[in-house]
Structure 1
């Protein structure tokens, strides 16, 4: 997928185990809805 930021995988891996599948699901939904989106982290 275009616009995927590898820093997000690091962020997601450091999240609590219960939150990891939620974060990935939200990420997938956003990329499906808007394929041209660019990921950034603050």
Structure 2
């Protein structure tokens, strides 16, 4: 996963006013390894 993906999710969270987001990468052998929680100003 690239840092640009994290930056996009952070921007979406900031613009929408939401506090928590999930970034999911489906291109991993185990799906649980591709799930990342991203927090905005907590």
TM-score w.r.t. the length of structure 2 is 0.37
- Using CA pairs under 8 Å that are at least 6 residues apart, name the structure with larger relative contact order, 1 or 2: 1
Flag the structure with higher strand content.
2
Flag the structure with higher helix content.
1
Question: Greater Rg, structure 1 or structure 2?
Answer: 2
